[in-house]
Chains A and B, each alone.
Chain A
Amino acid sequence: MRWLAGAAVVALVGLLALGTWGLFPRPPVPSWEEATAAFGARNAVAAIVLGARLWDTLLEVLVYAMALVGVRMVLRPLSRVQPVPPVSETPLLTRAADILLGPIVVFAIYIASSGHLGPGGGFPAGAILGSGLLLLALAKGAERLAQELHEPSLERVEYGAIAALLALGGLILVLSWRGSWLLVGANVLIGLEVAIGAWVVLHHFASSRGEV
């Protein structure tokens, strides 16, 4: 028995050694620049996230959406706090929000739509847009911002973004469509989803009171 195990180990090590010395035939691996360009991107990370590993990304977005649904459903039975009149803040915050909101939104759109060319992509873009919304919430009060944003239509935009993203994923995965515009679209939709999600979670956590 011991001899048998020893022989098996030697055989396995031998096979591994043969493999590393290149004695087994291997399919040629294209250079990463070619593979990236085939997906219509110049940033290898974008080509992996939205091309070679698109299944991962789609399911990640679905997990994110499920987390949002969970937050909504679990926190719904809790009581909502009475909207307290906005506390007068120092003008520093409201002024900063006025000045910074525009650049933040533009930067988020830029990060989303140029994610296939350089560093960036949908997730950071959504986080940046979400932080812009949080800045507004700090300056104006979360309740007032919630009224101005109109939650039901926000929800529709969110589910619409997921549906559109799944359709786009189908085009890339099933029909093997390739092109930069697909990546831009996917990044913008992911950014929208992440930003709305950040706002929804914040708003529910900020305004619900009670025991879960």
Chain B
Amino acid sequence: MATVLLCALTLALAVFALTRRRLLWGVIGVGAHSLALAGVYLFLAAPDVALTEAAVGFALVTFIYLLALRRTGRLVVAATEVYPLLYQEGDAVAGLEWEILERFGRWLHRDIEVLWVARADIPRLLAAGEADLAAGGFLPREGERVLLSRPLVPTRMIAVRTGPGPCGAVAGDRGQDHLPPGGPTYEDPEELASALARGELGGAVVDLLRLREWQLRDRVGEAETAAVEEDLAFRFAVAPGEEEVHQALEGFLGELEASGDLARVRERYLG
């Protein structure tokens, strides 16, 4: 009786493992299947075989799959937080780019993991292979070796003037290109906003969305704004050497654009 039940469980777990779309669940299903199979052997009076099956099938093979999954089973996205493109909502991640990334991950059968980093660290992380994608209002700069996706959201760079004093920017951001050499930069956009609010800076060069976020949260008061660079667009960046991911992303975004979903998502988040 126990043998028949365990055999049925083995079959059920095999079906479970085969039908999961998430690779991690598939691996867990295969491991549990091996364990149930070891139980079958045990009840068929073959404890030696059961022991080997449990050690190899459940432990060794599962660990090897997990190690492989860690490298290939997920896409690591290095990102900065920009409302409403990509931001944290409690423990969850939300935003326009997140919706696209989530669908892209499902499409590729890979899990998306977001690594919150400073903008200046993104090229290094992509080049070292520690991240596969960059997102979060990514604007490319001169000399960055990355593969760019098609444009997602059009934007422009804005110079904000609040008073006399030097102009600042986020370190590594495109705004830094518009500062005189050695101009003040800040790792964190929040620090830039605080410096601006304290009057340490007379202005800042940021993109349209960042400025809108500051205005929504009342971080900048009276300010003159002037566009310094037009016709830009936020894109995803893919690590150099990840041509396959880049091609897949381009194909996926192309489909999204053709079906009108991209425009709908843009409409929903940005109006």
Contacts and interface: CB of A to CB of B under 8 A. Distances in A.
B60 A84 contact: no
A138 B48 contact: no
Interface in B60-109: 60, 63-64, 66-67, 70-71
A120 B51 contact: yes
A81 B71 CA distance: 12
Contacts of A182: none
A40 interface: no
Given A84-B128, A130-B60, A131-B59, A138 B66 contact: yes
B130 interface: yes
Interface stretch (A1-9, A24-32, A121-129): A121-129
Interface string B37-70: 0000000000110111011100110011011001
**Which residue, A87, A120, A134, A138, has most C-beta atoms of chain B within 10 A?**
A134
Q: Is the interface of B mostly helix, strand, loop or mixed?
A: helix
A124 B59 contact: no
A102 B215 CA distance: 57
A124 B128 contact: no
Interface in B124-176: 128-130
Contacts of B130: 84, 87
Given A84-B129, A127-B56, A111 B51 contact: yes
A134 B66 CA distance: 10
Interface in A113-153: 118-121, 123-124, 127-128, 130-131, 134-135, 137-138, 142
Contacts of A138: 63, 66-67, 70
B60 A131 contact: yes
A202 B60 CA distance: 10
A201 B200 CA distance: 58
Given A84-B128, A84-B130, A127-B56, A135 B51 contact: no
Contacts, number: 56
Interface residues of A, number: 26
Interface string A176-211: 000000000000000000000010001001100000
Contact of B60 (A45, A127, A205, A206): A127
Nearest to A128: B55
A123 B52 CA distance: 7
B55 A131 contact: yes
Interface of B: 47-48, 50-52, 54-56, 59-60, 63-64, 66-67, 70-71, 128-130
Interface of A: 43, 45, 81-82, 84, 87, 111, 118-121, 123-124, 127-128, 130-131, 134-135, 137-138, 142, 198, 202, 205-206
The list of the 8 closest CB pairs from A to B, nearest first, reads A119-B47, A131-B59, A127-B55, A134-B63, A124-B51, A124-B52, A128-B55, A127-B56
Given A84-B130, A137-B67, 11 more contacts: A82-B128, A123-B52, A124-B52, A124-B56, A128-B59, A131-B60, A131-B63, A134-B59, A135-B63, A138-B70, A206-B67
